[in-house]
Structures are given as structure tokens and as C-alpha cells.
Amino acid sequence: MSDGSDNVIQPARRRPVTLRDVAETARVSVATASKALNDQGRMTAETRTRIRAVALQLGFRPNSLAQSLLRRRSFTVGLLTNDSYGRFSLPVMAGVSEALLDNGVSVFLCNVEDDPRLGQLHVDAMLDKRVDGIIASGKRLDRHLPVDLSNLGIPVIYAFTEPDPNSIAFVSDDEGGARLAVEHFVALGRKRIVHVAGPETFAVVHQRADAYRAVLAENGLTPPRVMMGPWSEGWGHQAVAELFDAPGEKPDAVFCGNDQIARGVVDALRERGLRVPEDVGVIGFDNWEIVAAATRPPLTTVDMNLTALGREAGLTLLSLVDGKPVEPGLRKLPCRLVVRQSCGRPPGD
């Protein structure tokens, strides 16, 4: 009596297409086919194109292990981060992937949190996998990842985290981003601009505050007021209470340290019967889409261009892997102002 297993249909297993299959179909030698597919050797453009077309038609996939041995590369790159929420590391990784995938390189992401032991385990694993290089990314610009990336014997790029000395690093231009925000308020004719910032323990908080003060001084506006507190909506509510419960002139514009603070400010102003942007304009920082677009009205904010930053980091790492010289140093990439309804556009724009 059969248990029915004899009637089970087994899926057909197709033999992988080999380089020899491509060569035979294209009527060339295996060596010529290999050179055409690897963009090597001397042959006519017509022959190279014909061999590649045959490979595509047959569904040929190169043996990645053989290619790695041939070129002494793994075609993988490690991305280390301690940004558990992915707020900053995910857009950086999107840019890195965009640069690398076009060049046949995969990204190997590891979250080290703030644990030195975990960080070392991930670095050791990356080295065991023979990654071609490592990109380190974090959640703030003034803190190292909790792992030593010096003297690894492979290229290392820092993207949105504190770098080692004499390394190659990419960061956003926070001072320039703050200038964009405050100059936009000035162009709108706002005169009493307040800066509700993040915690004083962050270096970027002071960089942005310095830029804010500089723009006010350049335009002869009222003395600056910088208020520092947590990166939270609650702090935005509290700041509005302090500003509007106090005697004297009230601000007509608020530049906020991040989008969460800005949303708290917008909500608190609305609760007081004040209109945004008619009575008070509000600008945030980060362009965190799920916050900025969901704020009512939608939030004008500074975008740090982290995807572009990641793309530049990825392309630079590729240059190093290919043996091209790259000068060490800190590269500041410009921010951009994303104008929505919380402050409006200057006249004539």
C-alpha cells in the first residue's frame, strides 16, 4: 500500500547556464566570452555586445565566488551604525546602496548599538567575510562608534558620525542649514525670531545657534534668544508657554532644533489660538517625513541630504577600493530648505 509519496511531483531542477554555454552559443572561445563579460581584452565592440546579448538571453549569472577570487575582492561593503531607530542611518544606507549596487557591490548592515563588545564582534565578522571596506554611520556627529576602526587593513569611510583623526568623513553642514532657515524668515519679513534648540550637550546645537545669532546680527534684528531643551514635542509645548506667558513682545517666528520640537511648537500655538504661519512662522530641522508632512500645517524644515551624503561616501569608498588616492579630511555637504506651509515663501519666489 502506497503512502502517496510516489505521486509527489518533484520540481524540475534546471542546470545553471555556464560560461561554456555562452561561448558555444556565441561561437567564440571560453576565454573570449570571459573577457567580453568582464570588459577585458581586445575585441570589436560588435563582438563584445553580441556575447553579452547571448549571456542575457541564456540567463547567465557569473559565479560571484570565482569573480571574487579573480579580482581579489568580495564585492561586499560593511555598514556599521549605532542608530537603532534608523532615523539617520537608513537614509545614509539608501545613498550608500544606490552608489554601490550600480557597481555590483552589496551592503552588509550591522547595528552595534552602543556596545563595544557587540561592535567588535561585527567588525570581526566583516573582516572574516573579507568585505572590501567599511562605512561607519551614527546618530550624532560628536560621538565615536564604540569600536576601533583604525588599522583594519581595509578602507574605512565615516558618514554622519565622529571620525578618527586623518580619516575621510562626510557630515552635513549644520551651520549652513541653520542659515537657510533663519535667512528664509528674514526674507519673509519676520523680525522677532526665536531659536528653540535641542540639548546643550550636542555640538550641532551650538553650531546651529551660532549661525542663527550671526544671521540676526547681519540683519540688525532684535537680540537673539536661544532656548535649549530635549529633542521632543513636549519641549516645544513648554517653550511656547515660556515665550508667550512672559511679558513683552512675542516672537513672530520660531526656528526649531528638530521636527519633533517644531510639531510641539505648532500644536501649542494652535491651542493658544495663534495661526501658523500668519501669526507665527515655524521651521524645523531634519525633514523627518513622518513628522514634517503630518504636522498641521505641514512643516517647513531643513533637510540634511543624508541620502546624498551616503551616496558620496559610497562612491568615495569605491575609489579607495579601486586603488585611487583620496585626500583625508572632513567633507561638509550642504543642506536644503524644504518649504511647506508652516512659514510660506518669500515674496517673488
Going along the chain from its start, the domains and CATH numbers come out as 10-53 (no CATH), 74-173+306-334 (3.40.50.2300), 174-303 (3.40.50.2300)
Q: How confident is the model at residue 69 (pLDDT cuts 50, 70, 90)?
A: very low
Amino acid at 266: V
What percentage of the chain carries pLDDT values higher than 90? Answer: 68
- Cβ-proximal residues to 170 (8 Å cutoff; 6+ apart), any chain: 157, 158, 159, 160, 309, 312, 313, 316, 331, 333
Q: Among 311, 323, 322, which residue's Cα sits nearest to residue 107?
A: 311
Q: Which of 87, 137, 130 is nearest to 111 (CA)?
A: 137
User: What is the dihedral sign for C-alpha 335, 339, 342, 345?
Assistant: positive
Residues in the chain: 349
- Between residues 222 and 285, which one has the greater pLDDT? 285
Does the pLDDT value for residue 25 go beyond 80? yes
Q: What is the mean pLDDT of residues 241-270?
A: 96
Mean pLDDT over each residue of the chain, to the nearest integer? 89
pLDDT at 5: 47
| pLDDT of 12 strictly over 60 | no
R_g over Cα of the chain:
27
Output DSSP code: residue 318.
H
Non-local CB neighbours of 20 within 8 Å, separated by 6+ positions: 30
Among 85-94, 158-167, 171-180, 284-293, the minimum mean pLDDT is found in: 85-94
**Per-residue exposure over 34-50, b if at least 16 CB sit within 10 Å of its own CB, e if not:** bbbbeeeeeeeeeebeb
Q: Is the pLDDT of residue 84 over 90?
A: no
Report the largest interatomic distance among the alpha carbons of the chain, rounded to a whole angstrom: 97
Highest mean pLDDT, choosing among 64-78, 99-113, 252-266:
252-266
Least confident residue range of 23-32, 113-122, 199-208: 23-32
Q: Residue 8: what pLDDT?
A: 57
What pLDDT is recorded for position 328? Answer: 94
**What tens digit of pLDDT does each residue of 89-144 get?**
889 999 999 898 877 788 889 999 889 999 999 999 999 888 999 999 999 999 99
Q: What is the pLDDT of residue 280?
A: 97
